[in-house]
Structure 1
Amino acid sequence: MKFKSTNPYNGQTVGHYTGLTEKELSDKLAKSQEAFESWRKVSLSERCDLLKKAGQVLRDNVEEYAKMITLEMGKPIKESRAEVNKCALVCDYYADNAEAFLKNETISTEAFKSFVSHDPIGSVLAIMPWNFPFWQVFRYAAPTLTAGNTGLLKHAPNVFGCAKQIEEVFTKAGYPPNVFQNLIVHHDQTEKIISHETVKAITLTGSERAGSAVAEIAGRHIKKTVLELGGNNAFIVWEDADIDQSVKIALTARMLNCGQSCIAAKRFILMEGIYDEFVSKFTKAVSELKAGDPMDENTGIGPLARIDLADQLHEQVTESIKQGAKLLLGGKQNDCYHEPTILGDVVPGMAAFDQETFGPLAAMIKAKDIDHAFALSEESKYGLGVTVCTKDIEKAIKHSNRVSDGAYFVNELVKSDPRLPFGGTKKSGYGRELSKDGMMEFVNRKTVYVKK
């Protein structure tokens, strides 16, 4: 099968890729198992040294990698650079902390000695999305490979150029052959890969539909999965909040990566007393974003990654307006480009409230009071994260238990950080990435009991 990646800004072809044959795929899976048998014996200190080198390879080639990200999925070039540099940071983080994370945990019992060891499990398959084509891969690969596992990547077809470069990062860093392999395959080969005896676990970042399908297949074969799926994050602004600062945070929270992020703020739940001021200032800030060629340093908003994504967003905008939402800004689409759009007076039952909107669409929602705001926030099948803006920090902390999501941020946009566990609840998936939690997902926590 042939694949082609296309620049969403101008429609030009970025690259052509040939899919693996059945035999080539089988060979790669076999090589992953062979590589695991030797890789697991490499000392942890050496694995950490190689990870440090991978981080340096990323920094040394940041312009090359950032350009590929932008060309393949349309992210403004300055955001692409930031993504590559963040990947380097996650490499440094696990290189510096893996020894502490993986050390034996002594537990006092009546035994002469009892402890928990952390052993690698084998080959871990990563099914990754296009929206953060480098970051999503490295936040899985850094802890997983360093724990002694081997990695297999099935990336989104529109970013196969990025996938090829990611594999090259590990090669340039000096990793042994086949410790990390890029699989150029169609999604219809996913079941074969998951069911193969080489693959011991699967991590997926993607849609709810994709996560459900992968979990079902993995379940039949009794294989562990970690799922990071969609989100419909609430951004709650209390009446005492610094509105100017809240607007600044909200602009990034919604429009970063042209809004194509599971953890982007999508539902802006505003107290009635500050609704008009916030909406007015937010609308002005969004209207000042410079749209254009994402390779231009001054571009703040680019196209969506594919035309079908822009079409879907436009349908959600149109449907919400028919349901009674007010169009306050934008609303127009031109091929892959969709204007940054703001809808006012959004309520439950509207597409802009109920559905995940993967693009530059912000839904403005009125709340009568704090209790109503949290009730609206919880009225979602997703559970990735919530932001609360307020000057009353202690009060905000006390209210954190009212949120069932995987993250609760005060006066900051929800974002991933190598030092903090990341993941969701409900239809947003299960399991955790990053921090020590992310490394523990794909190790065998083995109980060792010694009686003298």
Structure 2
Amino acid sequence: MAIATIEPTTGTTLRTFQALSPEETEARLHLAEETFRTYRHTPFADRKRWLARAAEFLDSEAATFGRIMTQEMGKPFEAAKAESQKCAQACRYYVEHGEAYLRDEPIDTGKDRSYVRYEPLGPVLAIMPWNFPFWQVIRFAAPALIAGNVGLLKHAHNVPQCALALEDLFLRAGFPRGAFQNLFIETRDIERVIEDTRVKAVTLTGSEGAGRAVGAQAGKALKKVVLELGGSDPFIVMPSAKLEEAVETAVKARLINNGQSCIAAKRFIVHDAIYPEFERRFVERMGRVKVGDPMEPQTEVGPLATEGIRQGLHAQVEKSLAAGAKAPVGGKLPTGAGYYYPPTVLTDVPDASPAAREELFGPVAVLFRAKDVEHAIALANDTPYGLGASVWTREEAEAQRFIAGIETGMVFVNAMVASDARLPFGGVKNSGHGRELALHGLREFLNAKTVRISAGALPPPTEASANE
């Protein structure tokens, strides 16, 4: 598959890039290993200063980075700028909290002196997607680099300029040349890099199929792996909810990033008592969404990232309609240039149809009716995925039943699901395993080394030795 910038608004190929030769890939792997040997011992103050500098660039150059994102994958420009600024916030989070998260953790074992020491593993291969081309990378890179690991980025084939901009970002911020490197390699070459003994761990954000392949390859090579895969997140609305707020948030939650988000709400499960009114308002609002040029400020939804994604989504919609689903708005493939797809609502969806069983990666929402709380929970869990869930209720007991009953990695009450550097991010079931962000994400790629020193065997540590 070509490594190229293809503008989603026109379908025009703007730039192409050559994949690395085996010799060039080898040179980058060698540099990563050599850099790690010294970088892991770099004073924390230096890593902290460099990451803080990266945050400054992400803020001050948000418009520049945003244009690259919009040009390569079609997200609205305002959202792209916000993505860069969110990346800056994540960097600053680890600048502020990284040292405490890496500090030795004392364990009470009586008279003996025991603790857990957290050490970096080495070069980490990150296989990243196109939908949040900066944010997905930063939420791996910021904790990895602050902890003393080095990064190797295999980015999606359609966002090569984002990959180059990120590599340049860390270099300009002061990180050593081999601390963060871009790998322009073909998909068929990924397994060889995973198997390389210099690569110590793997993280992937992508499809379920990619997760299964990479997980199997990492397992065969006995490498630690974090998998953040697809989702079919439920958005549950109960009679006590503030309906207008729920509807407005539902539209935003479905259409974020042109509907191309693993944590976008995709299945809207609404109590029978309020279903007719919710459907009326939701359909009306989806029908008013402004679709157009992502560089225009008023645009709410831009094009999908590729023609293949658009055709795949439309095929799922058509098969669902043929099975008996209804589309009160949208559902028709537009003519003209670009990879646009209209905001679409599907109702009366048969159980066996794609809309009921598969992830829809685009601006298509599916409505379901629920009889009561238990029925809503059953519908929410009736999916192979388990990433996030949004629940709308003003009853505490009801909210707690949803929190306990829904099989997901995250539950948000009266709010849409969103990633936040302060909160661990990840799922269960076919949505993957492991966590990103917060303390949990930083420690995924660390060796938790147990140390136990017999009482009286060594002199008490000095303050200087304890901080080494």
Q: TM-score, normalised by structure 1?
A: 0.98
In structure 1, runs of 5+ residues without a counterpart are none
Aligned to 1:418: 421
The amino acid across from 1:233 in the alignment is D
Aligned to 1:76: 76
Q: Is 2:432 the partner of 1:429?
A: yes
- The match for 2:400 among 397, 408, 414 is 397
Question: How far 1:346 moved relative to its partner?
Answer: 2.2
SS of corresponding position for 1:377: helix
Q: Is 2:296 the partner of 1:296?
A: yes
Q: Distance in 2 between matches of 1:235 and 1:380?
A: 13
Question: How far 1:403 moved relative to its partner?
Answer: 1.0
Q: Is 2:53 the partner of 1:32?
A: no
Query: Structure 2 matches for 1:32-181, cutoff 5 A?
Result: 32-181=32-181
Higher mean C-alpha deviation, range 387-396 or range 408-417: 387-396
State whether residues 347 and 365 of structure 1, in contact with CA within 8 Å, keep that contact through their aligned partners in structure 2.
Answer: no
- The match for 1:445 among 439, 445, 448 is 448
Aligned to 1:221: 221
SS of corresponding position for 2:108: coil
1:113-150 deviations in whole A, cap 9, x for unaligned?
11001001100000000000000000000001110000
Q: Distance in 1 between matches of 2:33 and 2:268?
A: 48
State whether residues 386 and 414 of structure 1, in contact with CA within 8 Å, keep that contact through their aligned partners in structure 2.
Answer: yes
Aligned to 1:252: 252
Q: Distance in 1 between matches of 2:81 and 2:145?
A: 24
Aligned to 2:389: 386
RMSD of aligned Cα (Å)? 1.1
State whether residues 14 and 72 of structure 1, in contact with CA within 8 Å, keep that contact through their aligned partners in structure 2.
Answer: no
State whether residues 10 and 339 of structure 2, in contact with CA within 8 Å, keep that contact through their aligned partners in structure 1.
Answer: no
State whether residues 233 and 267 of structure 1, in contact with CA within 8 Å, keep that contact through their aligned partners in structure 2.
Answer: yes
State whether residues 151 and 181 of structure 1, in contact with CA within 8 Å, keep that contact through their aligned partners in structure 2.
Answer: yes
Question: How far 1:2 moved relative to its partner?
Answer: 5.8
Question: Number of residue pairs matched?
Answer: 452
State whether residues 111 and 450 of structure 1, in contact with CA within 8 Å, keep that contact through their aligned partners in structure 2.
Answer: no
Higher mean C-alpha deviation, range 257-266 or range 396-405: 396-405
Question: How far 1:205 moved relative to its partner?
Answer: 0.1
Given the superposition, is the C-alpha separation of residues 326 and 35 from structure 1 closer, same or farther in structure 2, using an over 3 Å criterion? Answer: same
Higher mean C-alpha deviation, range 196-205 or range 5-14: 5-14
State whether residues 63 and 81 of structure 2, in contact with CA within 8 Å, keep that contact through their aligned partners in structure 1.
Answer: yes
Question: How far 1:276 moved relative to its partner?
Answer: 1.1
Q: Distance in 1 between matches of 2:130 and 2:351?
A: 29
Query: Structure 2 matches for 1:321-360, cutoff 5 A?
Result: 321-334=321-334, 336-360=339-363
State whether residues 11 and 339 of structure 2, in contact with CA within 8 Å, keep that contact through their aligned partners in structure 1.
Answer: no
Higher mean C-alpha deviation, range 57-66 or range 332-341: 332-341
State whether residues 303 and 341 of structure 2, in contact with CA within 8 Å, keep that contact through their aligned partners in structure 1.
Answer: yes
State whether residues 130 and 158 of structure 1, in contact with CA within 8 Å, keep that contact through their aligned partners in structure 2.
Answer: yes
Q: Distance in 2 between matches of 1:429 and 1:109?
A: 35
State whether residues 94 and 142 of structure 1, in contact with CA within 8 Å, keep that contact through their aligned partners in structure 2.
Answer: yes
State whether residues 14 and 71 of structure 1, in contact with CA within 8 Å, keep that contact through their aligned partners in structure 2.
Answer: no
Aligned to 2:372: 369
Given the superposition, is the C-alpha separation of residues 241 and 30 from structure 1 closer, same or farther in structure 2, using an over 3 Å criterion? Answer: same
Question: How far 1:242 moved relative to its partner?
Answer: 0.9
State whether residues 391 and 402 of structure 2, in contact with CA within 8 Å, keep that contact through their aligned partners in structure 1.
Answer: no
